[in-house]
Amino acid sequence: MKQYKNEAGRYIVDIHGIVQGVGFRPFVYHSARELKLCGYVSNIGGSVFIDVEGEVISMKHFINKIMKTPPPLAQIEKINIRKAKMKGYDCFDIVKSSEDKEELRFIPKDTAICNSCKKDILENSGRWFHYEFTNCTDCGPRYSIIKELPYDRCSTSMRSFEMCPACKEEYENPDSRRFHAQPVCCPICGPQLKLLDCKGKEIVAQSAIREAVRLLKEGSILAVKGVGGFHLMCDAENQKAVAKLRSRKQRPHQPLAVMAADAAAIENQCVLNDRERQLITSSQSPIVLLKKKATCSLPNILAWDSDKLGMLLPYTPMHMLIFADGLKYLVATSANLSGMPMEYENQKAIDHLSEVTDYFLLHDREINIPIDDSVTKVFIEKEVISRVGRGYAPLSINIGAQHQLAALGAEQKSGVCLSKNGYTHVSQYLGDMKSPEAFENYKKVLDHLIHLLRIKPQAYVHDLHPGYLSTQYALEQQGMKLALQHHFAHMASCMAEHKLTKPAIGVIYDGTGFGEDGKIWGGEILVGNLKGVTRAGHLKYCAIQGGDKAVEEPWRSAVSYLYALGDCSLEGLAGLDNGVTETVKAALKAGLHCFESSSMGRLFDCVSALLGLCSKTTYDAQAAIILEHVADRQIQSGYEYEIQEDQDGLLIGYEEIIKAILTDIRKGKGVTEISCKFHNTIADATVEAVVKVGKLYGVREAVLSGGCFENLLLLEKSIKKLEGHGFTVYYNEKLPCNDGGISFGQLAAADRIMRG
């Protein structure tokens, strides 16, 4: 037994959080050895387990180091330390992982290439020079390749690649940056890139990547397999190539994300503040929505409807190498057919995309779970996420949940949320569930997360909407079910994120959600807490003709509102066509396919269509996005509006607002002015309603959520005006305010309700 000069002891330490796949064991190993401690470190289930003994003073330093300077990608959530009887270890080792039963589990996230690996592939003349799959303990794929926890090579897609002796040596050498880096590989033993033509026939070239770059420079479209799936890529500076991509993908207008060679290339085109720079260069490497500079030279075709561009940096060695030869900007949009999820399997991608892409650049490392890029933005110095994806998902947040639950989200921008041991785990964005393929993918991710996190749901939480596939799927499960109203779930998502327990007023402005009265809600003023809310007010109902069609055709909302006003004159309304409006008017008169709606989204659609900005959409929320974009932000005035009160609460009237807009249009006022006045009016009416509800219920906290608050002009104006009236205002930051945040809200509310 080792002898110690000073007082010695033994600690058993459990560390929970994101501690696997982030170089934690090597870090512990080095720290222990430096301090001459003995024992071992191991991954157990989802945690790191340390059995350590030595001089007490050194052990204190050791624990301090773990807590204060863990590896960069680690996120410690909980640490348990207990004393134990000395065992007499004589060295410190890393031992094989083992299983646990009921422990806290977290799933490591896919991480962008680190600076040391960048040097390895671009500068250092070692084994990794120009190798597209280089990684280390600080970077590389994780969640997308994990099949099982604990996270070891044999539980990932890398198990089919046997390490060569040189890689094995690095993997086992505690002094290597790749010590226990599970996906470690090199050109000898690791995945390989292949270039194929659009039919899937291999193109023989000395270097697949150099040939791919040549084709991109020529104006070709390539389907490129990355970490979480395939992107469609083309030269973003080549207008013709982008137009070809748009036409083949049948995406005429939706903004396309742009991958830029480096941060300087982004800064040449967009305004970048410190927070935005930090986000764009982070290890999560999301798409960040940035304001275009006046001097931006990238073609408008990338984002017709907005003055913003979604930009990201190359996040794998392969992407870096694509940019190594002079390309500056590439379109990087998820590769899928219209309505289908992103492709991530080689053969299926070839089968589905042969008409869309000219070539495929793919590799033989299997993607176990597909994951889209994350989309985020900076609003008042803070990050506000729009889409939880690669680098962020699964998103683990401690809300003190007391039950194991599965919340199944909504329908568009679907996703799931699971809870155990206090934590919620939010899945990546799973898209619109309408296609069978998307629904299959949704079920696969749900099962996978339940399996990895070892969750036995005590209840399935779902939306009230009987037609949602997520609702139907929940009802097929064994055990307890809990239905929660859509806008309550939006409000709960924001309250739980901010750990708000006091009653608050929720302003929930949204596209579509099934209401408790069976009508379509979406302009809601709610009051309450996570246990439940009262509907204190709403945008006045209007019968909207067309059902789901109205969502895609804003002119239907415009005609429906005009009909409700009894003013169906189309004089001065460029966006409305007399022929079709007559049919809808007849349908409104007969009550055919009309739905009472309080949706704020439809009111924005109506105004956008009345102004001739957008009468038919080709992507989600297009009409509102254009309306926000054109607004002249200098204008402070608004329109008259009316708030009535009846036994159901406050009714925010639309009549005065639309009449005033029609007058302005007919007077020939510009769309920029009218749009801003409309935004001001909605913010004013909102504040007046909130002030009234606040007085009635004695509440000073306001919560803003729902997809309409993706509109930053509306969000900013609402916050300022509410704060001006002394309210503390909360909005979604970590979770999307759109339906991507619904599953988290459902879970937080259900857990609170079940506590009683």
Provide the CA 726 distance to its chain's centre, in angstroms. Answer: 32
Q: How far apart are CA 125 and CA 102, in angstroms?
A: 46
Angle (CA) 509 333 199, round 5°? 140
x-marked contacts with Zn ion along 498-517 as a string, rule CB under 5 A: ------------x-------
Angle of the 655-666 helix axis to the 554-565 helix axis, nearest 10 = 100
Provide the CA 288 distance to its chain's centre, in angstroms. Answer: 11
Under the binding rule (CB under 5 A), the answer on residue 630 touching Zn ion is no
Binding-site residue total for Zn ion (CB under 5 A)? 12
Q: How far apart are CA 242 and CA 265, in angstroms?
A: 19
Q: How far apart are CA 316 and CA 314, in angstroms?
A: 6
| Selected binder of Zn ion within 52, 117, 311, 750 (CB under 5 A) | 117
Helix (H, G, I), strand (E, B) or coil at 563: helix
Angle (CA) 425 428 431, round 5°? 135
* Residue listed under structure tokens 């037994």: 1
- Count helices and strands (H / E) in the chain: 22, 30
Q: How far apart are CA 662 and CA 81, in angstroms?
A: 69
Q: Is 43 designated active site?
A: yes
Q: Is the Cα dihedral 514, 517, 519, 521 positive or negative?
A: negative
Q: Which strands make up the sheet holding 75-84, listed edge to edge?
A: 75-84, 8-18, 47-55, 38-44, 92-94
- Cβ of residue 439: shortest distance to Zn ion, in angstroms? 19
Under the binding rule (CB under 5 A), the answer on residue 139 touching Zn ion is yes
Q: Which of 6, 33, 43, 441 is catalytic?
A: 43
Residue 468 or 654 having the CB closest to Zn ion: 468
Residue 39 or 183 having the CB closest to Zn ion: 183
- Cβ of residue 611: shortest distance to Zn ion, in angstroms? 24
- Cβ of residue 739: shortest distance to Zn ion, in angstroms? 4
| Selected binder of Zn ion within 53, 138, 170, 664 (CB under 5 A) | 138
Under the binding rule (CB under 5 A), the answer on residue 122 touching Zn ion is no
Under the binding rule (CB under 5 A), the answer on residue 624 touching Zn ion is no
**Alpha helices, DSSP H only, in 453-518?**
469-476, 486-497
- Cβ of residue 734: shortest distance to Zn ion, in angstroms? 17
Cα end-to-end distance, the chain, whole Å = 55
- Cβ of residue 662: shortest distance to Zn ion, in angstroms? 29
| Selected binder of Zn ion within 739, 741, 744, 751 (CB under 5 A) | 739
| Selected binder of Zn ion within 41, 167, 289, 335 (CB under 5 A) | 167
Contact by Cβ (8 Å): 149, 155:
yes
What is each CA distance from 236 to 229, 263, 295, 374, in whole angstroms?
Answer: 20, 16, 16, 20
Q: How far apart are CA 713 and CA 385, in angstroms?
A: 16
Using the contact rule CB under 5 A, the part of the chain among 13-21, 107-115, 254-262, 424-432 near Zn ion is 107-115
| Selected binder of Zn ion within 67, 91, 154, 188 (CB under 5 A) | 188
Residue 181 or 371 having the CB closest to Zn ion: 181
Under the binding rule (CB under 5 A), the answer on residue 753 touching Zn ion is no
* Residue listed under structure tokens 């750990």: 499
Q: Is 421 designated active site?
A: no
Residue 154 or 696 having the CB closest to Zn ion: 154
- Cβ of residue 120: shortest distance to Zn ion, in angstroms? 8
Residue 664 or 739 having the CB closest to Zn ion: 739
Residue 77 or 739 having the CB closest to Zn ion: 739
| Selected binder of Zn ion within 48, 52, 66, 136 (CB under 5 A) | 136
* Residue listed under structure tokens 């084709």: 215
Q: Is the Cα dihedral 321, 325, 330, 333 positive or negative?
A: negative
Using the contact rule CB under 5 A, the part of the chain among 17-25, 63-71, 164-172, 331-339 near Zn ion is 164-172
Q: Which of 25, 390, 556, 602 is catalytic?
A: 25
Under the binding rule (CB under 5 A), the answer on residue 170 touching Zn ion is no
| Selected binder of Zn ion within 44, 189, 564, 565 (CB under 5 A) | 189
Residue 8 or 193 having the CB closest to Zn ion: 193
Residue 276 or 620 having the CB closest to Zn ion: 620
Question: Would you please indicate which residues are annotated as catalytic (active-site) residues?
Answer: 25, 43
Give the binding site for Zn ion (CB under 5 A).
Answer: 114, 117, 136, 138-139, 164, 167, 186, 188-189, 510, 739
